[in-house]
Structure 1
Amino acid sequence: MSYIYRGFIFLICFAFVFGLSTAAKASYIVKQELSTDGSMRILEVMSSTRNLTAARRLRALPSQIDEHSRSSTKMFEEWLYPDFGSMPALAKSWLLNESRHRTQEAPLDAELRKLVVQGQPENRINLTILGDGYTEAEREIFFEDAQRITDDLFLEDTFASYLPLFNVYAVFVASKDHGITDVESKDTVFGLYRSPKGSKRAIMPGNSSQIRKALKLAPATDFPIIIANDEYYGGLGGEFAITTRSVESGPMVLRHELGHNFGDVGEEYDGGDVYTGANHSSNKNVSWMPWVKGELRVFDVKILAQAYVWQKLLKNPFRQNIKFPAPDLNGFPYELDVDVSSVGWSASGEVRFTFDGENLPLEGRYTDDRSFFELNELNYPIPGNHQIDVEDLSEDGDNILAYLKVAALGHGYIKDKNFIGAYPTFNSSGRLVGYRPTHDSCLMRNMRSKHFCAIDRENMWKRFLDRVELVDRISYDTQTRKIRLETPALPALTIAWFRQTAPDEYERIESAENLSEWKVADKFAGHKLIARVQLETDEVRSPTLRFKREAGLTIPE
């Protein structure tokens, strides 16, 4: 009996691998983790129908991107390989082992719901939303939260133009306990926990293997999202985009984390440690010159103080001493710039924020969750020593100063949200690490924003079209004599039809311009008809070859 069983398994595995190695036009997505010592760990291998001739890297970013702290030293990479033979040996081995052990895993008690379906998963970007810390009694609450967050992403401005490229799925797996581990430990299915304890900051994945197992219950997953059943700010970027169900801050965090994951970019705010990708330049020779009007403006900024404070203010006021710079070489004074984040500041009267004893007006939204503020009026202090004081007036004990940054902006600094130049960015050590495109209009810098800058928007189009073909399918119905072209429902798509008249000669069919379906005249019988599809949008100024695709077939005689 056991011999027969082992032989049966061997035959299945042999057939599985033989099928993979001989399947026509099969491609594979490999997700892997790289350590600083050069070692590689395969996380997942998935089959794909996407056609390509050479391996293509889809993503490369730290496995975990944490706010204002050193992110994971391990790198998460995602590759698309044209066939089984082109994959690394470790990926082939992983796929073989996966086929052996797939039936031995205990199934999860889960429910899948499709929230958005724009096309077949093979040619769409697939988001799968999981929840941690939702009990069985909170099943419907999870699905409501998943729908609310999906609506915020795609019905608001942030990702609305990309919606036809996406499918969204939600998978519910019950936890024993409500909430996630913080000061108090919780028994949850994915083991999410706050780091550091008691903070409103990073939320870390505790059981990554269980997360990946749950993701397999969806038709496909390109970008996983995990909602923590918690009412306050927190999240993470990297392999997983993590946020909370907080109505106030959950969507804000997720927009930012997906900005990392979709665009394969780092931060734009000061005080971080990951500065990479299309929205960053390490020098003044920026890559976004097509978006610059006239000569590139490079701005002068000095960091005077930067602290991740995380200090309770009750009976413990905070003071920051600064030395404001003298005017520049042309005699122009610097402008004071202040950025603050807090927890528990539910009203403006709860905290006094002063500069040399005078109230400093801050602009922002006061909430008991994580809040963000900035100086909202011009202020030109005299050069020399000054002090900023933050004092609790409420006595409720929940007011926390999370972060404070004080800077001096040079003469001619432009804050217009549409202006694109070279704005200095500083890391957690206060060192200049490079430049970003805008002042603070982009949500990769300003958490309160719902918009990406033009450079990030263009970059995401390019990243998305690395994953999605502009043509889903072309077909001809012999009964109706209609030819049909199926594409993502992008308003900016144009379609041009051609008849092939010779090996390298084509005649444009003007009557079928921009038609996705039309009746084929008798004169086209026996001819090959070709559709050329192009995406033309004001959000892209430097399109790649993938913005133009074509498909064709021969009409039967």
Structure 2
Amino acid sequence: MMRYSVLVLLASLICAASSGAAGNTSSSKLFELVVIREPDTLQCKHLSVRETHQYRGVPREGLFSNRIFATGEERIRFVAHGRDTVWDRTERLCGESHTWDFHVLLQNPELRVSDDIGQIVLQPSGGVAHSTDANLDIPPLEIFPLVTSGESSNRVDLVFFADGYASEEKDKFVDDAMRLAEDISGNQTFYTVKPLLNFWAAFTPSKESGIGSGGKPKDTPFGLYRDGTELRAVYYSKPEVARAACFSLGDQCDYPILMGNDPLYGGLGGEFTVITPSLANGALVLRHELGHSIIEVGEEYDGGFAYFGPNAAHNETLADVPWAHWLTNPSSHELSHALPNPSYPSGSGPPKARVERSVMPMQAYPWTLLNTSTAWSTTFNSSGTYAWHLVRFSLSGLPEKEDLRVQLDGKDLGWTPRADIGVDRWHYDIKLNRTLEGGEHEVKFVLKNAKREGDAQLCSVEVLEFGDETEFVATPGHYSLYPTFSEKNETSYRPTNEDCLMRIVTTPDFCKPCTEGLWHALLRRVDLIDDLEVGCEKDADGDWARTLELSLVPLAHLRENPVDVAESYTITWMKDGEVVTEFTNQTKLVDDGNAVGSYMVHAQYATEEVRVDKDGLLTSTAASFVGTSTCVVVLVILQAQALQSAFISLHTAPLASSTGGSREERRTADLRLHHQVLIVFATTTTTSPFLPSAAEMSFQDIEAGLAQRPLSPGSTVPQSPEESAFLGLQSSLSLQVFKINSNVQGILKLVDQLGTGRDSAALRKSLHDLTESTRAMVKRGSDDLKKLTMMQATLPRHKTLLQKTSHDFKLSLIAFQKAQHVSMERQRTVVEGVKLAVEEEESGSHEQARASSPTPSQRQAQILQTQLSPQELAFQESLIQEREAEIREIETGIHELHEIFRDIGTLVQEQGSMIDNIESNISSIAVDTAGAAEELTTAHEYQRRAGRRALCLMLVLVVVVCVVLLAILS
């Protein structure tokens, strides 16, 4: 049975090897370093290093970012290609590894440092490989999918971790997590980017239910607690456990969410998003804190300390406003942007954006319990120059209107609580459409119901004043510069009045700049192309046809549930470097009889939510090589599957079955099945130029378990530094092939313009530079291919990948060689035409030239005469010698290409000789199989004879025993 399964596996390998790998392959793996340290002392408290999935736009030197959290800690993230680069940065930040005395998480066992530090090392599967910290207990995690859209390797994954949920509360935890995930991704906030996200729930039972208070955590996995009794922040006491839990999930955990089992308001942003499943506030806190984590933006509300990102401007100069492309520009001059800068005497200089006129005369965060004996009050001063004002505050523990009176200058403001809020916290705005008089004012909160003492709490209060409609536009959807005032009363600017949940947490959506930033942040981690797969299918006539199927992230018309946002995909296909217009916007191509070749697909996503994409994140490209236009291999697999079914039926039939035949017949049929499959393989070896050889995949290797190793080019995982170097060089060469093909198209386009009205010195220089750069690229590629061939000698499982790469490179060389021939001939024609034009201009023999039968060169000259002035003709004459020199240079380059072709031919011949051995190897296997059949038959005969002898011996023994017994008894 195992040998037969091996044959079916080989059939699938043939099919996989007949096409190239799809997708975008980086030159080396991406690694992510995360360091938590004290910003003042720079003392590291935690670090983790792991291989991460794609992170687009990472520069050669790596991508560095840092952020100060509300906890006072600094997080440093460094993403770069190559383990050594990341490890070097690790030791630069935290010192040499033998000096570390903090928690360390390493995914790759090769990165393990000395055993005397407190660290754990996690394998890619998530299992703990090494731990020297007896106090660190990674909790068991039971994972539940909530809202998923694709593989974690190409999605951003958000995981809810349970804290304070007892074992019997598992269903409650999953329900809470599902409600919140659906709330923020259903019809608002994250609903347009939902196809880029996965939401998961990770359950760990707690020994105690609920979260701690008064600064004391309960016995829970992550130790969540409130610092006091106020409905404010919820802190974690076991960050190292939370880090290890998320780290153990690998790609499945990008943003951990610690959810404490508490029904009331609370949360925290930073390294982890901490929330509670509060019905009124859970989703509000979650979406706000995720905005900080994913988009990496600061606050928009007043009284904060961090204002940064796409929603923050720190001066009025238009060029420094991150959302300048979103600004609303009404026709009236008073409300328009790009006004002259008054900082310059002449009124010139960088234009400034309009600032909406408002001020915050008072803000406070009392976080105080109210009582009936003494009302809470504060005073502030107003300039008396603003048209209207707003009193904004938040309360908790006050479910009834009769519980509290809110006053401004002794007048009741008519506060009414949210109907279903209960004792949870909520935010209230009371707008007063009148001008505050200049001078001092008082705001007061009077508790009227003594029964609420101990619960009633004033959390925050502020007063804002605004100009009239010509000075301040409060209309929703208006984008301008709106002042925001920090805790130090420093002014920055936000995009809208109150359209964004980063300012008003009760608002369900981001403003447009934040939404655009959300797209940018997510598309750095998600490629629009999920897969580009080569396959086969039957057509209406029952014939097999080659297919090429593109799988995109389900946006635009591919969404399961359409959104009310204008969006579209534009799909462009190229075959062998040429755009195929009839394939435009198709996601599946069916063989038209000429499928062999290199394919590249370019996907461009457009949405009204993104206006600027300077890093090209809304585009994606994938390539694939089709090595055979037939689907014979599919027939092999189908035949193998049919044979396998018969084989299984034969072996599972009862031994005494009247229809199953004798044991010998079954064994003979078994061998016939093996032989049949071998014959099928022998007859199809020539249909795929990339069939693995016997040296690369032997039956013994497969039965030993080596068949589980991924062998297709698209799924290769490096097993050693040498293999990693090989794959990196191969990816680099593939990229060079792509660039060569692109350059060839550019050369041909420039050649088409030679001798036309668009011909110019700049065009010829561009053609020369492009040709030279391509020739240099070809030389580098030839050297790289030689290196790959030498490296592959010790990596037999990558022979298929080398053959495909060599074939692709050869095709690109052929295309470049043809392009150079075309360029050379065209330039010769142009030079001859210019010569003729110059000669005729000097001799005045135009009439004679027209009277004679024009040759191609003369026709070219006639065209040039109508296009070139005498001065231009003189200039062309001066360039003739230069062009002829360039033609000779091209000829030299073509000779160099011939040399490269000879080198590649040698490589291909060596590879071909290995492939040619397959048929002889299979024939040898067939002969060995026949011999095995004879040996099995002989063995069976021997076994039967041995059985007869044993039976005779037993009979003799029985007779002897009987005789002895009779003799004794008598």
TM-score normalised per structure 1: 0.87
CA distance in 1, matches of 2:377, 2:138: 55
> Match of 1:306?
363
CA distance in 2, matches of 1:349, 1:240: 39
Decide whether aligned partners of structure 1 residues 42 and 493 sit closer, same or farther in structure 2, where only a CA change above 3 A counts.
Answer: farther
> Match of 2:444?
389
- Please tell me whether the aligned partners of residues 356 and 388 of structure 1 are also in contact (alpha carbons under 8 angstroms): yes
Give the CA deviation at 1:435. 0.7
- Please tell me whether the aligned partners of residues 483 and 517 of structure 1 are also in contact (alpha carbons under 8 angstroms): yes
> Match of 1:433?
491
CA distance in 1, matches of 2:38, 2:217: 29
Give the CA deviation at 1:516. 1.8
1 or 2 for the larger relative contact order (CA 8 Å, sep ≥6)? 1
The yes-or-no answer on 1:35 pairing with 2:90 is no
> Match of 1:404?
461
Query: 1:133-532 alignment to 2 at 5 Å?
Result: 133-183=164-214, 185-195=217-227, 197-218=228-249, 220-285=252-317, 286-294=321-329, 295=337, 296-315=353-372, 316-327=374-385, 333-362=386-415, 365=418, 367=421, 368-396=423-451, 397=453, 398-411=455-468, 412-429=471-488, 431-478=489-536, 480-491=545-556, 492-502=567-577, 506-510=578-582, 512-523=583-594, 525-532=595-602
The yes-or-no answer on 1:547 pairing with 2:618 is yes
Q: Secondary structure at the match of 2:533?
A: strand
The yes-or-no answer on 1:127 pairing with 2:162 is no
> Match of 1:84?
83
Q: Secondary structure at the match of 2:72?
A: coil
1:48 corresponds, among 46, 52, 68, to: 52
Give the CA deviation at 1:39. 4.2
Give the CA deviation at 1:471. 1.4
Q: Secondary structure at the match of 1:290?
A: helix
CA distance in 2, matches of 1:77, 1:493: 36
What is the letter of the counterpart of residue 482 of structure 1? Answer: T
Gaps of 5+ in 1: 1-22, 64-70, 328-332
CA distance in 2, matches of 1:107, 1:501: 52
- Please tell me whether the aligned partners of residues 390 and 432 of structure 2 are also in contact (alpha carbons under 8 angstroms): no
Give the CA deviation at 1:501. 4.8
- Please tell me whether the aligned partners of residues 243 and 250 of structure 1 are also in contact (alpha carbons under 8 angstroms): yes
Q: Deviations over 1:246-269 (max 9, x none)?
A: 111111111110010011011110
- Please tell me whether the aligned partners of residues 535 and 547 of structure 1 are also in contact (alpha carbons under 8 angstroms): yes
- Please tell me whether the aligned partners of residues 55 and 79 of structure 1 are also in contact (alpha carbons under 8 angstroms): no
CA distance in 2, matches of 1:550, 1:378: 55
Percent sequence identity is: 27
> Match of 1:67?
none
CA distance in 2, matches of 1:133, 1:58: 35
What is the letter of the counterpart of residue 481 of structure 2? Answer: A
What is the letter of the counterpart of residue 500 of structure 1? Answer: K
What is the letter of the counterpart of residue 293 of structure 1? Answer: T
Decide whether aligned partners of structure 1 residues 80 and 520 sit closer, same or farther in structure 2, where only a CA change above 3 A counts.
Answer: farther
What is the letter of the counterpart of residue 240 of structure 1? Answer: F
Give the CA deviation at 1:106. 5.4
Considering fraction of residues, name the structure with more strand: 1
Q: Secondary structure at the match of 2:574?
A: strand
What is the letter of the counterpart of residue 306 of structure 2? Answer: V
Q: Secondary structure at the match of 2:513?
A: helix
Q: Deviations over 1:454-474 (max 9, x none)?
A: 010001111111111111221
Q: Secondary structure at the match of 1:481?
A: strand
CA distance in 1, matches of 2:130, 2:38: 30
Give the CA deviation at 1:481. 1.1
Give the CA deviation at 1:176. 1.1
> Match of 2:653?
none
Give the CA deviation at 1:129. 0.9
- Please tell me whether the aligned partners of residues 58 and 463 of structure 1 are also in contact (alpha carbons under 8 angstroms): no
Q: Deviations over 1:485-529 (max 9, x none)?
A: 122111145142323355xxx22333x332222313123x23322
1:116 corresponds, among 124, 132, 147, to: 147
Give the CA deviation at 1:345. 2.3
Alignment RMSD (CA, Å): 2.3
Decide whether aligned partners of structure 1 residues 128 and 410 sit closer, same or farther in structure 2, where only a CA change above 3 A counts.
Answer: same
CA distance in 2, matches of 1:487, 1:245: 34
CA distance in 2, matches of 1:278, 1:363: 36
Decide whether aligned partners of structure 1 residues 520 and 77 sit closer, same or farther in structure 2, where only a CA change above 3 A counts.
Answer: farther
Give the CA deviation at 1:432. 2.3
CA distance in 2, matches of 1:74, 1:134: 28
What is the letter of the counterpart of residue 272 of structure 1? Answer: G
CA distance in 2, matches of 1:42, 1:89: 16
Give the CA deviation at 1:376. 2.9
CA distance in 1, matches of 2:238, 2:587: 46
CA distance in 2, matches of 1:545, 1:521: 33
Gaps of 5+ in 2: 1-25, 92-96, 98-103, 113-119, 123-127, 330-336, 338-352, 538-544, 557-566, 629-970
CA distance in 2, matches of 1:41, 1:188: 22
Give the CA deviation at 1:103. 4.1
CA distance in 2, matches of 1:426, 1:379: 22
Decide whether aligned partners of structure 1 residues 58 and 143 sit closer, same or farther in structure 2, where only a CA change above 3 A counts.
Answer: farther
CA distance in 1, matches of 2:572, 2:536: 19
- Please tell me whether the aligned partners of residues 180 and 283 of structure 2 are also in contact (alpha carbons under 8 angstroms): yes
> Match of 2:941?
none
Q: Deviations over 1:75-105 (max 9, x none)?
A: 2233321121221436486532344873447
What is the letter of the counterpart of residue 417 of structure 1? Answer: P
What is the letter of the counterpart of residue 300 of structure 1? Answer: R
Considering fraction of residues, name the structure with more helix: 2
Q: Secondary structure at the match of 1:497?
A: strand
> Match of 1:3?
none
CA distance in 2, matches of 1:106, 1:391: 49
Decide whether aligned partners of structure 1 residues 209 and 499 sit closer, same or farther in structure 2, where only a CA change above 3 A counts.
Answer: same
- Please tell me whether the aligned partners of residues 169 and 218 of structure 1 are also in contact (alpha carbons under 8 angstroms): no
Give the CA deviation at 1:537. 0.3
Decide whether aligned partners of structure 1 residues 414 and 423 sit closer, same or farther in structure 2, where only a CA change above 3 A counts.
Answer: same
- Please tell me whether the aligned partners of residues 384 and 435 of structure 2 are also in contact (alpha carbons under 8 angstroms): no
- Please tell me whether the aligned partners of residues 424 and 432 of structure 1 are also in contact (alpha carbons under 8 angstroms): no
> Match of 1:17?
none
The yes-or-no answer on 1:62 pairing with 2:68 is yes
CA distance in 2, matches of 1:211, 1:241: 11
> Match of 2:835?
none
Q: Which has the larger radius of gyration?
A: 2
What is the letter of the counterpart of residue 49 of structure 2? Answer: V
What is the letter of the counterpart of residue 288 of structure 1? Answer: W
